[in-house]
Structure 1
Amino acid sequence: MPVTLWAATLPAVVEELLNEMAEAVRESAQIPDEHLLSLKFVFGSSAIQALDLVDRQSITLISSPSGRCIYQVLGSSGKTYICLASCHYCSCPAFAFSVLRKSDSLLCKHLLAVYLSQVMKTCQQLSVSDKQLTDILLMVKKQDV
């Protein structure tokens, strides 16, 4: 089953790389070195930082009975960020500045970590009520103010 969450938002080369990585994980439970080198080439130091977040199991998929889901990423600074993989968004300042404002990055390390945790099937999962999910999103909004 190809990974398709990022298909509508990422360049084809990144989509293909993530799909190849997912296939490699399905076949051998690991990512080949050439894929890791490609990841570093495309994303620079963000790739290493994202892999570190995945290694530390910092990514949690939070889902509710209505089918809504968000990813919560515990950043290296200890701050928690919300990522919406379905629309390619992260609440961190680096995403706002480097991805949205300057357009000099495709992703922040948090969003890349979300995609990599999907590929590697290492994402923690948490089911909450719809109200709890709304409260989590409102809490993030208050932090940003």
Structure 2
Amino acid sequence: MEATLPAVAEELLREIKKAFQETSHVPDELLLALKFIFGSSAVAALDLVDQHSVSRVVSPSGRAVYQVLGSSGKVYTCYAACHFCTCPAFAFSVLRKNDSLLCKHLLAVYLSQAAGVCQELSVSDQHLASILLEEEEG
């Protein structure tokens, strides 16, 4: 079962995807709504998308995760289906304090999906397993 974001956030991401598909850009009113709903994470996430920092890592088995090269140079693994990121900001602001819906890395994943600019990397099942195990150990 997939987790869902609040309806307003889901609808905004759908509108951004639709606008980008139709015009290849996001109108200012949707960017303002993005900033209103996601706060300072929105600008940082857009910057990550502009820098092509989001990769979808796929294995032959069909399993996939996203990796985002953060502004600090560290790579974070994001699980879009359950809205989870391995970064410290997600653990603190989203899970512990509950004052944010998403971190900038996870929002960058959704925005790169909407814009169709997510890089895709094919790896072996063993490599994907090692990515997941690295995160578990870290």
Task: Report the TM-score when normalising by structure 1.
Answer: 0.91
CA distance in 2, matches of 1:9, 1:98: 18
Q: Look up the match of 1:4.
A: none
SS in 2 for 1:78: coil
Post-superposition shift, 1:126?
Answer: 0.3
Retained in 1: the 8 A contact 2:3–2:83? Answer: no
CA distance in 2, matches of 1:8, 1:124: 24
In structure 1, runs of 5+ residues without a counterpart are 1-6
User: Is 1:42 matched with 2:40?
Assistant: no
Residue pairs, 1:1-145, within 5 angstroms: 8-142=3-137, 144=138
Post-superposition shift, 1:62?
Answer: 0.3
Q: What is the RMSD of the two structures over their aligned residues, measured on CA atoms? A: 1.1
Which residue identity lines up with residue 97 of structure 1 in the other structure? F
Post-superposition shift, 1:140?
Answer: 2.5
In structure 2, runs of 5+ residues without a counterpart are none
Which residue identity lines up with residue 13 of structure 2 in the other structure? L
CA distance in 2, matches of 1:101, 1:90: 13
SS in 2 for 1:23: helix
Task: Report the TM-score when normalising by structure 2.
Answer: 0.96
Q: How many residues end up aligned between the 2 structures?
A: 137
Identity %: 66
Retained in 1: the 8 A contact 2:90–2:103? Answer: yes
